[in-house]
Structure 1
């Protein structure tokens, strides 16, 4: 049943006619993190030092050429940007090819899974402003499992693809979507809710903290080439909330 919110929004289940708008919203919601990740990586002291060193090398090798220094330093900076882009582009590709390819089968045919959309009034018209999905996992591990510190097992709900359109942010819509997922997991008898967030997504991390989630582990495996993950300096943060 659709749930009305205090922001004149409606949170409702996915419908097949939503597919195109979901793809558009998801594409923006994932790829918008490339620049924050890039700037965060470039502020790291190792990357600052490497940029300066490579620029100096270009200057020397180019016979005191400032242009050569700029080209060498620019090439290094471009490589860091590429690594950040490649990670989030792989997130998007995996989401579109696996999770979003068949929403009905992946999320709605199984009673412990679900996919919600949030509709808001925009210029007098109803428009999809956010989305969130949950996959229920029986006998999953609710603990610091990546670091091998297993404290217990149970049934969990894994949150996927929390996305809110830019104009509707900072209005509580993300909170309402997550709370909807938490209540759904409680009704399904699941013992905890988990979510994995990339480290540059500071706003999302703060949101989940406010809702009672705690960080249980971090992992630098981005399912891509190890050197790409290392240069991008992006971690996946696992957060959990026991019900």
Structure 2
């Protein structure tokens, strides 16, 4: 098996002048999962069964019309795609109007948090090739009853100890520069920062279609501690899209 090449890069704190490039990369990093989520969902046995049934209904109702059968089946596939799209765009818009709208306040002005960009030279030009951030949650900062979940604000049970942990916020690497160990460098930067802060663990939450992130997290010692299907979207959308939110955690 071919070894992944490692590109030299500089991982540094975010600067206000990075905003346009970071937002563009962040947007791509979220929306790129719409199609994988759709194809994973529509290929599930339950959805295939529903699609066949709907096509048959269209065929019968259309008077043995193959066109009507395809139309009904296409409508079902369109609905599933719409649900996947709304889940990710809803998450994106919430973050763009929240943490990403003011990185300085949410991350850099708080010494417990941080936001980094990976910068490298591409064809003689400096390019932001990746981003990662950490939001620290210390014992006294937890909502009553447990940890808050970044997808839908639900409450999760705390671990033993003071419950402090660092939440990895949207690890993204530019598509042309993937499989060059940049994601590992960014995630390790976040882990090292959490160690310096004296946090007990590092938490990374991701959606089930994000196979590359899950593989990277497992490779770097994260284990899945919980999962749920409650996103910020309507429950029926989450159910049709069949998207789970997975919580990966690494004790440090």
Taking a change above 3 Å as real, the CA distance of residues 51 and 181 of structure 1, as seen in their structure-2 partners, is: same
Deviation at 1:161, TM superposition (A): 1.1
Per the alignment, residue 150 of structure 2 pairs with none
SS at match of 2:94: helix
Q: Which has the higher contact order (CA 8 A, sep 6+)?
A: 2
* Cα pair 1:146 1:219 within 8 Å, conserved: no
- Counterpart of 1:3 in structure 2 is none
RMSD: 1.6
Distance in 1 (alpha carbons) for counterparts of 2:22 and 2:75: 35
How far apart in 2 are the matches of 1:152 and 1:55?
Answer: 55
Kindly tell me the number of residue pairs found equivalent between the two proteins: 236
Given that residues 8 and 120 in structure 1 are in contact (C-alpha distance below 8 angstroms), is that contact kept between their aligned partners in structure 2?
A: yes
Q: 2:179 aligns with which of 146, 156, 170?
A: 170
Moved runs in structure 1, 4+ residues, more than 3 A?
145-153
TM-score by length of 1: 0.93
Q: Structure 1 CA distance, aligned partners of 2:240 and 2:233?
A: 12
1:121 is matched with 121
Query: Do the aligned partners of 1:136 and 1:156 also contact (CA within 8 Å) in 2?
Result: yes
- Secondary structure of the 1:154 match is coil
Q: Which runs of 5+ in 2 are unaligned?
A: 1-5, 148-153
Q: Distance in 1 between matches of 2:88 and 2:61?
A: 35
Distance 1:205 1:137 in 2: 22
Which string of whole-angstrom CA distances, capped at 9 and with x for unpartnered residues, describes residues 146-205 of structure 1? 775855542110000100001110000000001001111111111110010000001100
Structure 1 unpaired stretches of 5+: 1-5
Residue in 1 aligned with 2:133? 133
Question: TM-score, with normalisation over the residues of structure 2?
Answer: 0.90
